[in-house]
Amino acid sequence: MTERDDLRTAPPEAEASPSPAPTGTGAPAWVSATTPAVFVLLWSSAFIAAVIGTDAAPPLLLTFSRFAVAGLLLTLVALVVKSPWPKGKPLLHVVVTGLLMQAVQFGAFYTAIGAGLPGGVVALIQGFNPVLIALMAGFVVGERITRQQWLGFAVGGSGVALAVAGALDFSTGAIVLSFVGLLGLSVGTVYQKRFTQGVDVVSGTALHFLASAPVMLVLTLALEDPEVTDWGAFGGSLAWIVLINSVGTFLLLNFMLKKQAASRVGTLFFLTPAVTALLAWLVIGQTLNPPAIAGLVLGGAGVLLAARK
């Protein structure tokens, strides 16, 4: 039986059961239990760092710098721990995944933020990710989506739509770009779940960045004036984005995708808008209007419905 057959015919219990990691031993139970909460907090912080970074440098330059530094750092880690590197067709799948989840997603998100769209609003748009993942995972990966999960997706998606509706006074182009970034993340997540399950997490994530960096370099040279206006803010933002968001969150994301169904991992993105809004208020003083707050409440209710067994 092929890997495709396994994914399509596995019962619901098998979909969420842990699969052996390519390297190392299995993680302790408390690590798996706390990983989702840590992931949501760290992923949400990326939007705050992006606001600070795009105030100090053009968005595509920031994106290129993120990919280049993170790719080199993770390559060194992979060499030290002797992670196996994919070859042939698996390598091609890893490159495609990286371009979708990194270049498309963050190139679009950072450009939208650089155009003035608040980081919290971008996080709200990204909250549609579970809905798109659920739709694609059912057809591509063969994961079974329950009625309760669909109800949770509907409630959560309605909450995100309500919150985004309160931000339509911003640039329409920036909002469109945010949805382009959302599409890159969603397609990349399902593609990774379907085609790169056997790839080592460290080397695979390193290749995501290494494949995306040249694309961003060409774009920043062609479309921007790559000049940094505030090196302190740029350096601090880049350090946080690379060490915490690029390396930490994507290793956690890849780890969770190996342990759980893609649709269940996707529900975590319903929580990021609320956490991002809280961080934006605490760190940079951004606030949300009443429709956005109501949308966050609906989004939280949706994730509770979708995540319950």
Q: Tell me how crowded residue 95 is: count the other CB atoms within 10 A of its CB.
A: 16
Q: In the prediction, which pLDDT does 32 show?
A: 64
- To 10 degrees, what angle do helices 231-240 and 29-56 make? 160
Q: Which residues of the chain are modeled with pLDDT < 70?
A: 1-33, 137-138, 140-143, 166-170, 259-260, 262-264, 266-267, 288, 307-309
Residue 24 lies in a domain: no
DSSP code, position 20: -
* Residue reference for tokens 């080397």: 203
Residue 5 lies in a domain: no
For residue range 84-111, what is the model confidence (pLDDT) as tens digits? 999 999 999 999 999 999 999 999 999 9
Q: In terms of Cα–Cα distance, which of 304, 18, 299 is closest to 149?
A: 304
Residue 16 lies in a domain: no
Q: Tell me how crowded residue 85 is: count the other CB atoms within 10 A of its CB.
A: 17
Torsion of CA 205, 64, 53, 121, to 10 degrees: -70
Domain count of the fold of the chain: 1
Residue 22 lies in a domain: no
For residue range 160-185, what is the model confidence (pLDDT) as tens digits? 777 777 666 667 788 899 999 999 99
Backbone angles phi, psi at 87, to 5 degrees: -135, 160
Q: In the prediction, which pLDDT does 309 show?
A: 57
Residue 259 and residue 18 in contact, taking contact as beta carbons nearer than 8 Å: yes
Q: What is the CA radius of gyration of the chain?
A: 19
* Residue reference for tokens 């695979």: 204
Residue 83 lies in a domain: yes
Exposed e or buried b for every residue in 63-81, given b needs 16+ CB within 10 A?
bbbbbbbbbebbbebbeee
Q: In the prediction, which pLDDT does 37 show?
A: 83
Boundaries of domain holding 189: 30-307
For the chain, how are helix, strand and coil distributed in percent, rounded to 5?
80, 0, 20
Q: In terms of Cα–Cα distance, which of 7, 29, 45 is closest to 244?
A: 45
Q: In terms of Cα–Cα distance, which of 91, 93, 187 is closest to 139?
A: 187
Q: Which long-range contacts (CB under 8 A, 24 or more apart) does 184-187 make?
A: 184/100, 184/101, 184/103, 184/104, 184/105, 184/108, 185/100, 185/101, 185/104, 185/105, 185/126, 185/129, 186/128, 186/129, 186/132, 186/133, 186/136, 186/266, 187/100, 187/132, 187/136
Residue 153 lies in a domain: yes
The CA-CA-CA angle for residues 110, 184, 201, to 5°, reads: 95
Q: In the prediction, which pLDDT does 82 show?
A: 94
Residue 7 lies in a domain: no
Q: State which H helix or E strand residue 86 sits in.
A: none
Q: Tell me how crowded residue 273 is: count the other CB atoms within 10 A of its CB.
A: 30
